[in-house]
Amino acid sequence: MKISVIGTGYLGATHAACLASYGHDVVALDVDESRVRTLAAGHVPFHEPGLDELVVDGLRTGRLRPTSDPAAIGDAEIHFLCVGTPQVPGGRGADLTALDGAAATVARAARQPCLVVGRSTVPVGTADALAARMETEAAVPVSLAWNPEFLREGRAVEDSLRPDRLVLGVADDAAYVTLSAVYAPVVAAGVQVIRTDRRTAELAKTSANVMLASRISVVNVLSEMCERAGADIGDLVRVLGSDPRIGPDVLQPGLGFGGSCLPKDTRAFVAQGRELGVESVALIHEVDMVNMRQRARAIDAVRRAWGSRRRVAVLGAAFKQGSDDVRDSPALDVARTLHHLGATVMVHDPLAAEAARRAAPELGYADDVESAVRDADVVAVLTPWEEYTGLDPVSLYDLAASPSVVDARGCLDADKWTAAGWRFHGLGRSSCA
Ligand code: NAD
């Protein structure tokens, strides 16, 4: 099938490369020419395991063609919209400027009847509005469907090739049949396909993110209860996770959620809920507030430990382990706030240091953990990279000016660090109260 993918970020580049691997003929369009050049040269401009290989393979077979020329998408039978939908500047809703631009590009370029499929995360009702607009703007018949993406950064290829479910939000049988054919290899592998209407498909994605965000904030409320009450959040989480109705996933207390999806999707959900008069959406607003308070609590823990010199080693800048993305990273946010509070901050991250340096050039950066920790008054672990879990507190003890560590992610072995002479402050543990 001839397919275009509009937008080649985390979602679009992964989607385009996966579609090419299914044997489709894919044109990947982006307005960012340097991104297109990078992809066309066989490189992925961000860290995503397995994606370089898929892109190289797609270029070699000629099934994947990155371009910045809108005319190149004219012959496609299906256009996937994969552009960003960030938080609106100065507000809390979703900014649909890029999506409107992508839809206008398709309307102008399409030379044959086509199916336009939204994959971006959007407020409910976006597809209906786009469909109405495209009906008047496009010179050819256009039908519109919504097919939200649930991939996780750091596992994008795996999640795309073997998703938990495919959600096809369609307005007619023809769109359903076409999308089932696009995803034939995934469907043949037995992946659950959920057919629904466009509005439910749009809402399914934001609802999934709201559920995940809520779970994280509830665990963080429990962790604060533990701090105040002198109880142990680690044992508490084990008890909860062993209840099959609750389950063990996404039950990690700590610095809370960040990245380019959960915070902005939670806020956009609340903004739209208020517009629609859903009073109980106040609960989800509080999920966001609890999440932001975790950053303040981590900052307080560091300030209690930093003494008069205020030299802080920050371990971790990425919004989560396994990613080089620092968009709305809680770790980088905390590091910047500490800097604004007068600290000398030295950051280490095994993968995201370059992205962090571009986003926060005012901070210091170290190539290895030892250099970051040398002469520090407090070490703050803000992203739970595996290599931090395995750190040797005995050898680091002599490097630090003062042996204080704040574990904001619950990823260190408190007993091991305490036995090596460190004052250990774990977010959500009674020592932080
Ligand atoms: P991104 O910012 O990494 O990429 C968006 C790309 O779209 C950029 O390369 C930009 O240049 C391009 N673009 C913008 N306007 C364009 C236009 N008019 N024509 C062509 N290209 C255009 O964004 P992302 O992280 O890939 O997210 C995209 C969407 O997918 C968002 O709605 C996001 O919420 C959703 N999503 C993201 C993830 C994730 O993990 N990143 C997961 C699921 C869903």
State the CATH number of the domain containing residue 78.
3.40.50.720
Count the alpha carbons within 13 Å of 152 in the hemisphere toward its beta carbon: 16
- Is 336 inside any structural domain? yes
Among 68, 82, 83, 149, the mutation site with the greatest number of ligand 1 atoms within 8 A of its Cβ is 83
Indicate whether 178 and 264 sit together in one domain. no
Helices 262-275 and 282-305: crossing angle, nearest 10°? 140
- Is 202 inside any structural domain? no
- Is 286 inside any structural domain? yes
Closest by Cα among 113, 108, 27 to 62 = 27
Q: Which residue in the block uniquely carries the two structure tokens 């049988």?
A: 173
> According to the model, what pLDDT value does residue 430 have?
54
Dist. CA 315–CA 331, nearest whole Å = 8
* pLDDT > 50? residue 433: no
ipTM for this model: 0.99
- Is 371 inside any structural domain? yes
Q: Does 2 appear as a known binding residue?
A: no
Number of domains making up the chain = 2
- Is 213 inside any structural domain? no
CB atoms within 10 A of CB 304: 14
pLDDT digits (tens, 9 = 90+) for 230-271: 998 999 999 999 999 999 999 999 999 999 999 999 999 999
pLDDT digits (tens, 9 = 90+) for 354-390: 999 999 999 999 999 999 999 999 999 999 999 999 9
Indicate whether 176 and 276 sit together in one domain. no
* pLDDT > 60? residue 432: no
Indicate whether 318 and 355 sit together in one domain. yes
Active site residue 261: yes
Show the domain range for 351. 224-432
Indicate whether 272 and 349 sit together in one domain. yes
- Is 190 inside any structural domain? yes
Tell me what the pLDDT averaged over the chain comes to.
96
Residue 35 CA: nearest ligand 1 atom is: 9
Q: Does 153 appear as a known binding residue?
A: yes
326 φ, ψ (degrees, to nearest 5): -115, 10
